[in-house]
A = this chain, B = another copy of it.
């Protein structure tokens, strides 16, 4: 029997997910929000439960040559908590599945779990379960995070309206540059094992890639100030990609100002050292785990009171497209190159 073969790469990650879930049906009245956002929402008689899950695979998502296991444990939890935060929910529990080959010792796993527990403590979250199994090759981690939110107070990607302000927390591009730095030092080390890695004065960028934080603080602040974002997403694939998700799912266009994108001084310096445009790192770098969200114009005063929230543009009618206004005064279409595209560019 001859079979058709479509390469997965031909669909892309988001295309593949769309393809696989296009016939997905919802049967339970309690399932309020299903596939297609940062997390699912389940109604639990009065309180709503938010669920998100992610898989991390050695050699694909992390390199143990420069990733301490404790940091890896911490990050595995944090990237999932970030998805819960991106729903404006409070993370409460996690489950952690791991697949390990016998090259890992119990001491190595202890280090990994130290990181898991450190993240649980930092975010007041409980580790409630998990599966520990053998893998034929490499270290495989799958984390599911659960959070709670008051009824209908969760925020999706699809509520942004024409005229809403586009906001981002923290600084962007730092994690991508941290990764480039670690990759460079790895290459140097492999060429001449005696050379010590030169990570001095690079604490910011190394920290951004190895020990990201979820912006639970921002969620609490927004709740406290009674600011209800109209749409929200966390930045895991790069600013461009996330903005385009919100525009597509909300049915809007947008204007993004290059000169408003927050970039840390150390990231800027490092970008120049690598001969790459810091703005490109922020737009396409990914793994910053900051929050991107939209608020109504009447929240302008409130939102500018927080020193770590930046207004970087605004939402427009869909026919106006998704536009980047550069420092030089040019207007470009915003395109999602994402992490992989940039990585390829770098190597070419």
Contacts and interface: CB of A to CB of B under 8 A. Distances in A.
A97 B54 contact: yes
Contacts of A104: 8
Interface of A: 3-11, 13, 16-17, 19-21, 23-28, 30-31, 33-35, 39-40, 42, 44-47, 49, 51-55, 57-61, 92-93, 95, 97-100, 102, 104-107, 109-110, 113, 117, 120-121, 124-138, 140, 142, 144, 146, 148
A196 to B, nearest CB: 15
Nearest to A95: B53
A58 B137 CA distance: 10
Contacts of A5: 105, 107
A127 B61 contact: no
Contacts of A52: 129
Per DSSP, chain A at the interface is mixed
A42 B57 CA distance: 28
B135 A20 contact: no
A34 B127 contact: yes
A142 B34 contact: no
A20 B109 contact: yes
A241 to B, nearest CB: 16
B44 A126 contact: no
B132 A16 contact: yes
Contact of A4 (B8, B40, B107, B130): B107
A39 B17 CA distance: 28
A46 B49 contact: no
Contact of A57 (B93, B120, B129, B136): B136
Contacts of A10: 106
18 contacts: A8-B109, A16-B106, A25-B126, A27-B126, A30-B93, A31-B93, A40-B128, A42-B92, A42-B146, A44-B47, A45-B47, A46-B46, A51-B146, A52-B129, A53-B95, A57-B133, A57-B136, A137-B137
A45 B42 contact: no
A4 to B, nearest CB: 6
Contacts of A93: 28, 30-31, 40, 42, 51
Contacts of A110: 19-20
